[in-house]
């Protein structure tokens, strides 16, 4: 791949596994130095970094459970130390060119089955964490940079069983549009990518159940599950020079799930 991101720095939250790992590897393969954030699975994050380095890329891990008190400050201090070391700027004038807010997730529940803990955790992962991290990095994000928020097709569905998750992802997309207006004067684009059912660890309960898998495939226009690398390709397109004139958009990356 052409090194279109050479000299750029990127942070991918939740970058140790699944879609996050695929995105980290894709950005690194295009030349970016990638900070692979993880909450608790150190082994997975280190494995991602090893894979990137084995392919000739540059990456490092940064541990922080984004959304918890004091964690974002710890993350920024780690980024300061690592980017300063890797870019050779002793004055600490580091910046982020590409921020991928990938952390998220949530359990299934109807409104009656949802409890306060489920609601708070879902919004903390999907909304509070990305909001607070972006706010903390606001002045570190370089002019003409990219912010890419990972949403979900759940934001547009009317499935009563994922009501809290749908609300949270809809908030992510509203955040994307407003932030795009806020940061547009600096040439920073802000977009969201909205995956559908994607093969991988988080969806094993679906892909390995023939009945559930058939239900997804039959409701997907392209008649299959997506692959993490396919989501990473879209993120890369938005992060690369190709995405310079796209902002405030949500890109549906579901293969046409429940059109």
| Ordered structural domains, the chain, with CATH | 9-105+126-158+166-253 (3.40.50.720)
Q: Which of 199, 40, 19, 8 is nearest to 101 (CA)?
A: 19
pLDDT at residue 184 tops 70: yes
Task: Work out the widest C-alpha separation in the chain, in whole angstroms.
Answer: 58
Torsion over CA of 136, 141, 143 and 145, rounded to 10 degrees?
Answer: -130
Catalytic residue numbers read 165
pLDDT at 116: 97
Q: Which of 38, 75, 83, 78 is nearest to 58 (CA)?
A: 83
pLDDT at 94: 87
What six digits make up the tokens of 198?
A: 């994607």
pLDDT at 91: 65
What's the mean pLDDT in 27-36?
97
Per-residue pLDDT reduced to its tens digit, 230-242: 999 999 999 999 9
Give 139 or 207, the one with higher predicted confidence. Answer: 139
Per-residue pLDDT reduced to its tens digit, 51-105: 999 999 999 999 999 988 899 999 999 999 998 887 766 666 789 999 999 999 8
Distance CA 192, CA 252 (A): 9
pLDDT at 229: 97
CA distances (Å), 145 to each of 54, 189, 211, in order? 27, 7, 43
* Paired residues of 101 in beta bridges: 149
Q: Any idea which residue has 């609601």 for tokens?
A: 119
Q: Which of 55, 52, 74, 51 is nearest to 64 (CA)?
A: 74
Distance CA 12, CA 258 (A): 28
What's the mean pLDDT in 28-51?
96
Strands 33-38 and 9-12: parallel
pLDDT at 55: 97
pLDDT at 93: 74
pLDDT at 31: 97
pLDDT at 89: 64
Burial class (CB in 10 A: 0-12, 13-18, 19+), 143: exposed
pLDDT at residue 26 tops 60: yes
Burial class (CB in 10 A: 0-12, 13-18, 19+), 51: middle
* Paired residues of 221 in beta bridges: none
Per-residue pLDDT reduced to its tens digit, 188-223: 999 999 999 999 887 888 888 899 999 999 999 999
pLDDT at 208: 87
Share of the chain above pLDDT 70, in %: 98
pTM: 0.95
Distance CA 25, CA 30 (A): 9
Rounded to the nearest integer, the mean pLDDT of the chain is 94
What is the three-class DSSP state of 216? helix
pLDDT at 207: 83
pLDDT at residue 175 tops 80: yes
Confidence of residue 1 (pLDDT cuts 50, 70, 90): low
Q: Any idea which residue has 């997506």 for tokens?
A: 226
């Amino acid at each position: 791949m052409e090194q279109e991101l050479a000299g750029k720095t990127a942070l991918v939250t939740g970058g140790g596994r699944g879609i996050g790992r695929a995105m980290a590897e894709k950005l690194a393969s295009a030349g970016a130095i990638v900070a692979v954030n993880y909450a608790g699975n150190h082994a997975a994050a280190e494995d991602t970094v090893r894979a990137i380095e084995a392919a000739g890329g540059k990456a490092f891990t940064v541990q922080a459970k984004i959304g918890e008190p004091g964690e974002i400050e710890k993350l920024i201090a780690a980024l300061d130390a690592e980017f300063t070391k890797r870019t050779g700027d002793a004055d600490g004038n580091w910046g982020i060119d590409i921020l991928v807010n990938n952390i998220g997730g949530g359990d299934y529940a109807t409104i009656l089955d949802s409890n306060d803990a489920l609601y708070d955790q879902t919004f903390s992962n999907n909304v509070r964490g990305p909001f607070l991290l972006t706010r903390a990095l606001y002045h570190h994000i370089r002019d003409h940079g990219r912010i890419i928020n990972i949403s979900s097709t759940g934001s547009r569905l009317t499935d009563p069983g994922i009501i809290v998750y749908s609300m949270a992802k809809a908030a992510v997309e509203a955040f994307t549009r407003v932030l795009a207006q806020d940061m547009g004067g600096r040439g920073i684009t802000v977009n969201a990518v909205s995956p559908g059912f994607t093969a991988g660890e988080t969806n094993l309960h679906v892909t390995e159940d023939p009945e559930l898998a058939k239900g997804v495939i039959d409701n997907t226009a392209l008649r299959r599950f997506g692959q993490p690398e396919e989501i990473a390709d879209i993120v890369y397109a938005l992060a690369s020079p190709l995405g310079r004139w796209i902002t405030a958009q949500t890109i549906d990356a579901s293969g046409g799930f429940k059109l």
